[in-house]
């Protein structure tokens, strides 16, 4: 084995250990958390419990609330929750009382976290309007296609700054150009629920399909939180009526932390057994696959912890299923490799042919699973959407694990076949003479 191969193997092992360390312990500098650990993965209603809130629809005298209004409100609240990476929720509407009940997960045992923080803003009507100095409405919510948070440098300062990017419809772009042409040199206040959130001065006519909203705040963290809230509220659309909170209650977990602990223990035991079986059958490639699986699980847990996605028992099922897909991909590769080595070809050609023949099979199987997961995510809701999200993410990472991580590490250990194909699960009587011209 060449020195270059040994160096790359050592680097791969160091990266694996680093990812494993980050997944278990995270990364902190003083009191600031840079990277969250797997222990900080949010859990859903069925594991950690949460909070239930009952909203009462409030309307002006003479206004009638229809079933369609309640359904629209349900969709708006659903969109706002998913914008906060909360997929494990239950929303119920009651047409008799004009009430909306929302259940969302939160760890009520963690005293450092305000359990009501996750529902702040859900009951805001979020009516956005651009007005002139006399209060006339120039643009409003229906003229805005989307609103997204960004911290890219702004044209005004050239420095990174939290802000909201608004994208207008075709009609909205026309209105915006006409409004800015009339208001050159004047301030154009932007209102959210009749509250001015900023009032930029128009320097010239703006013929663009987008605009930005900058926010106030004494610290960058406050500006970021406010900009994210504004983006979420505007992008989700406005409620057809005001909502008043009439009841808040904590709810216990449907299954509980014991189920999570049992699932974690079962997952660890299964992972160890998989690695043992892989090593016993495929020997050195089995060791490579085990290292790749450690990388895969660590990366997946780090993504879940740092994106704030709530993990439910159905999500855990999706995670375990994706691990199975990753193992299956490695099995396909190693079986191809054993076949090629058994045909008395050089280790280099065996490696290339094994991946060439296995890649299409692996990609086809994984792509179909990704499509199903995306359908569940797009068309499903609540726990079904969470399952689809975790499954899709896991399968994409399993592809990366098998076709990139496993391939890289296996390429470095393949020279061992020069001495003994037994290390690759091929019987000794089938050992080959390593001839690069075969």
What are the domain boundaries of the chain? 3-39+256-430, 50-120+243-252, 124-238
Distances (CA, A) of 395 to 260, 312, 402, 432: 22, 18, 10, 36
In the predicted model, is pLDDT for residue 308 greater than 90? no
What is the structure's pLDDT at 298?
Answer: 92
In the predicted model, is pLDDT for residue 431 greater than 60? no
| Domain 50-120+243-252 is found in CATH 3.40.50.300 | no
Run of H or E residues at 146: strand 144-150
Can you give the pTM of this predicted structure?
0.67
Calpha distance 396→394 (Å, rounded): 6
Distances (CA, A) of 129 to 141, 142, 191: 7, 10, 5
In the predicted model, is pLDDT for residue 435 greater than 50? no
Distances (CA, A) of 67 to 127, 178, 198, 320: 21, 38, 35, 40
pLDDT band at 107 (very low <50, low <70, confident <90, very high): low
Calpha distance 205→180 (Å, rounded): 5
Calpha distance 390→383 (Å, rounded): 11
Task: Give me Rg for the CA atoms of the chain.
Answer: 28
Residue 113 neighbours by CB under 8 Å, 6+ apart = 106, 107
What is the structure's pLDDT at 375?
Answer: 92
The residue among 86 and 393 whose pLDDT is bigger is 393
What is the structure's pLDDT at 432?
Answer: 43
Expressed in angstroms, the distance from the first to the final Cα of the chain is 20
pLDDT band at 157 (very low <50, low <70, confident <90, very high): low
Bridge partners (DSSP) of residue 150 are: 163
pLDDT band at 358 (very low <50, low <70, confident <90, very high): confident
pLDDT band at 15 (very low <50, low <70, confident <90, very high): very high
pLDDT band at 324 (very low <50, low <70, confident <90, very high): confident
Distances (CA, A) of 192 to 215, 230, 234, 246: 12, 8, 9, 24
pLDDT band at 63 (very low <50, low <70, confident <90, very high): confident
Residue 261, judged by CB atoms within 10 A of its CB (0-12, 13-18, 19+), counts as: exposed
What is the structure's pLDDT at 418?
Answer: 61
Percent of the chain with pLDDT over 70: 90
In the predicted model, is pLDDT for residue 319 greater than 60? yes
DSSP reduced 3-state for 325 = helix
What is the structure's pLDDT at 118?
Answer: 62
Calpha distance 249→228 (Å, rounded): 26
The residue among 74 and 44 whose pLDDT is bigger is 74
In the predicted model, is pLDDT for residue 71 greater than 80? yes
pLDDT in tens, 233-287: 888 888 888 888 888 888 777 666 677 778 788 888 888 998 999 898 888 888 9
Please provide the CATH number assigned to the domain covering 3-39+256-430. 1.20.1640.10
The residue among 414 and 411 whose pLDDT is bigger is 411
Inter-helix orientation angle 383-400/313-342, to 10°? 20
How many residues does the structure list for the chain? 438
Residue 351 contacts residue 410 (beta carbons within 8 Å)? yes
Identify which of 89, 100, 103, 101 has the alpha carbon closest to the alpha carbon of residue 67. 100
Calpha distance 205→202 (Å, rounded): 8
Residue 97, judged by CB atoms within 10 A of its CB (0-12, 13-18, 19+), counts as: exposed
pLDDT band at 173 (very low <50, low <70, confident <90, very high): very high
Average pLDDT in the 322-332 region?
87
Run of H or E residues at 34: strand 32-35
Mean pLDDT score of the chain? 83
* Chain centroid offset of residue 176 CA: 34
How many Cα atoms within 13 Å fall on the side-chain side of residue 325? 30
Domain 124-238 -> CATH class: alpha beta
Bridge partners (DSSP) of residue 27 are: 35
């Amino acid at each position: 084995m060449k020195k270059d191969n040994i160096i790359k193997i050592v680097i791969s092992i160091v990266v694996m250990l680093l990812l494993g360390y980050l997944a278990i312990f995270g990364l902190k500098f003083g009191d600031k958390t840079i990277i969250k650990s797997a222990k900080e993965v949010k859990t859903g209603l069925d594991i950690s419990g949460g909070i239930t809130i009952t909203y009462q629809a409030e309307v002006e005298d003479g206004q009638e609330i229809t079933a369609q209004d309640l359904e629209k409100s349900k969709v708006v609240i659903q969109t706002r929750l998913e914008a906060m990476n909360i997929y494990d929720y239950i929303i119920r509407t009651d047409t008799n009382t004009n009430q909306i009940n929302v259940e969302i997960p939160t760890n009520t045992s963690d005293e450092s976290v305000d359990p009501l923080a996750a529902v702040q803003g859900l009951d805001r009507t979020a009516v956005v309007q651009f007005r002139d100095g006399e209060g006339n409405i120039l643009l409003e919510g229906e003229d805005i296609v989307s609103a997204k948070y960004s911290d890219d440098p702004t044209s005004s300062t050239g420095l990174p700054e939290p802000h909201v990017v608004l994208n207008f419809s075709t009609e909205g772009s026309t209105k915006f150009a006409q409004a800015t042409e009339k208001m050159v040199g004047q301030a154009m206040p932007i209102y959210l629920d009749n509250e001015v959130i900023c009032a930029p001065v128009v320097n010239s006519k703006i013929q663009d399909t987008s605009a930005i909203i900058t926010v106030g705040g004494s610290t960058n963290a406050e500006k970021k939180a406010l900009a994210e809230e504004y983006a979420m509220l505007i992008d989700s659309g406005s409620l057809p009526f005001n909502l008043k909170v009439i009841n808040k209650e904590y709810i216990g977990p449907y299954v509980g932390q014991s189920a999570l602990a049992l699932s974690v223990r079962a997952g660890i035991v299964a992972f160890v057994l998989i690695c043992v079986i892989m090593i016993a059958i495929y020997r050195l490639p089995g060791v490579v696959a085990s290292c790749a699986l450690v990388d895969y699980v660590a990366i997946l847990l780090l993504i879940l912890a740092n994106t704030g996605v709530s993990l439910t028992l159905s999500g855990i099922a999706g995670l375990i299923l994706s691990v199975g897909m990753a193992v299956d991909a490695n099995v396909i590769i190693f079986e191809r490799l054993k076949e090629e080595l058994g045909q008395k070809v050089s280790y280099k050609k065996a490696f290339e042919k094994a991946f060439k023949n296995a890649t299409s099979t692996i990609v086809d199987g994984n792509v179909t699973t990704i499509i199903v997961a995306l359908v569940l995510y797009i068309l499903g809701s609540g726990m079904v959407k969470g399952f689809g999200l975790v499954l899709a993410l896991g399968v994409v990472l399993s592809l990366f694990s098998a076709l990139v991580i496993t391939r890289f590490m296996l390429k470095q250990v393949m020279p061992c076949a020069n001495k003994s194909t037994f290390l690759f699960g091929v019987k000794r009587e089938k050992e080959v003479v390593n001839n690069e011209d075969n």
